[in-house]
Amino acid sequence: MSGAERLPSSDRVRILEERVLSDDWYILKKTTFDYRCRNGRWQTQSRETYDRGNGAVLLLYNVERSTVVLIRQFRFPAYVNGCDDGLLIEACAGLLDGEDARMCIRREAEEEAGFRVRSPRKILEAYMSPGSVTEKLHFFVAEYDSRDRVSAGGGEAAEGEDIEVMELSLSSALKMIKTGAIQDGKTILLLQYAALVGLERLRDARDEAI
């Protein structure tokens, strides 16, 4: 169950009406509500929210080689919004679907990249598109080496996944952000975090109990 299925109790929000506009792949709703502004006045507003559940994302890194593992896959929404081939370079990620975030990211890393994750460390949670999408992402980092490679990865073909696994130096990945070769927001956040903290210090990254 995602957080969006439980409307929050608040002295600043009063739900007036909620309508399901679409319940095909995920749930699109239109909600009309009263919102109490900072000056104390109530204002009626309407918003559409797209509820696809919450997710987890992981940056795999190797300290000795200064490398990271990313994936490249086709994203139709990116294709229709100006990405010529629709291929985005990303960190491994997936929806929780009622699963614990650590369990989810272990499964996704093995399916997508072929790596068995030993010790994922949670570094933060973030809403990536709060203007319309309810999803909250759980961000993880995990160290890997060649012994953790258990398959070629590539994703689930039955689900339409056709994933290329990429091992890059962190410096190369950071340059790809500057050139526009990497445009995925969650991946940029993780790479910039790794650059800010340093790969060696990622080993000591705090594991949030949130």
Residue 209 has a pLDDT of 41
Domain shared by 29 and 89, yes or no: no
pLDDT tens, 76-90?
999 999 999 999 999
Q: What is the pLDDT of residue 98?
A: 87
Average pLDDT, the chain: 90
Say if 94 falls within a structural domain. Answer: yes
Do 23 and 77 fall within a single domain? Answer: no
In a domain, 141, yes or no: yes
Cα separations (Å) of 28 from 102, 137, 168? 27, 19, 37
Token pair in block for residue 11: 């002295």
Share of the chain above pLDDT 90, in %: 79
Q: In this structure, are 61 and 143 located in the same domain?
A: yes
In a domain? residue 209: no
Residue 151 located in a structural domain: yes
Residue type, 181: A
In the predicted model, is pLDDT for residue 9 greater than 70?
no
- Both 41 and 144 in one domain: the answer is no
Q: Look at the pTM and tell me if it is higher than 0.85.
A: yes
How do 136-143 and 27-36 pair as beta strands? unpaired
Specify if 131 maps to a domain: yes
> Once rounded to an integer, what is the mean pLDDT over residues 112-138?
95
Among candidate residues 87, 106, 115, 65, the one with its CA nearest the CA of residue 176 = 87
- What CATH number did the domain enclosing 95 receive? 3.90.79.10
- Number of domains, the chain: 2
Q: Give domain status of residue 208, yes or no.
A: no
DSSP-based three-state secondary structure for 37: coil
Alpha-carbon distance of 194 to 201, in angstroms, equals 9
Q: Which long-range contacts (CB under 8 A, 24 or more apart) does 33-41 make?
A: 36/11, 36/12
Residues 23, 82, single domain; the answer is no
Better-predicted residue by pLDDT, 29 or 97: 29
| Model pLDDT, residue 11 | 85
Parent domain of 87: 55-199
Q: Is the pLDDT of residue 141 over 70?
A: yes
Same domain, 78 and 42: no
- Same domain as 63, residue 47: no
Q: Are residues 26 and 46 in the same domain?
A: yes
Could you tell me if residue 99 is inside a domain? yes
154-194 confidence digits (pLDDT tens): 877 666 668 999 999 999 999 999 999 999 999 999 999 99
Question: How many other C-beta atoms can be found within 10 angstroms of the C-beta atom of residue 103?
Answer: 12
Query: Can you name the residues that pair with 137 across neighbouring β-strands?
Result: 55, 126
